[in-house]
A = this chain, B = another copy of it.
Amino acid sequence: MQPIYTIRQLTKEFAVTARTLRFYEDKGLVSPARRGQTRIYSARDRSRLILVLRGRRVGLSLAEIGEILDLYYMRDGGRAQLLLAREKFQERIAVLERQKIEIEKALAELRNGIDTMHRALVERHAAE
């Protein structure tokens, strides 16, 4: 009845390695059933995986993603999850804004360095 996925199917669908899926399981982010040794992923595992990958794409840590996922099945029907996720998202936005500034600084320093090196190379050439 339930849609069922193998580890291979999920790696292809989401372009991740099997190692990644096992790692997420080890961290408690997904908990597939077993058929013997082999992992069997349910639709629920798959939707959790989607949330994990979405969180990772925006740069949340697996620990933060875990916190959000843990709230999903609580009694308030997801309100706490929404509030926590929003907070994490806002924090992330602030971090990324700062990173953008750092990148701009680094780019300026790099371009400056290239100019300086260029001049040094020209001087050497002239001194020949």
Contact = CB atoms under 8 A, between A and B. Distances in A.
Interface residues of A, number: 32
Q: Please tell me how many copies of the chain the complex holds.
A: 2
A109 B58 contact: yes
Interface of A is mostly: helix
Contacts of A54: 109
A97 B120 CA distance: 26
A113 B56 CA distance: 14
A85 interface: yes
Nearest to A93: B110
Given A93-B110, A96-B107, A111-B93, A121 B58 contact: no
A79 B124 contact: yes
17 contacts: A54-B109, A58-B110, A59-B106, A77-B124, A82-B121, A83-B121, A85-B113, A85-B117, A86-B117, A89-B113, A92-B106, A93-B107, A93-B111, A93-B114, A96-B103, A96-B107, A96-B110
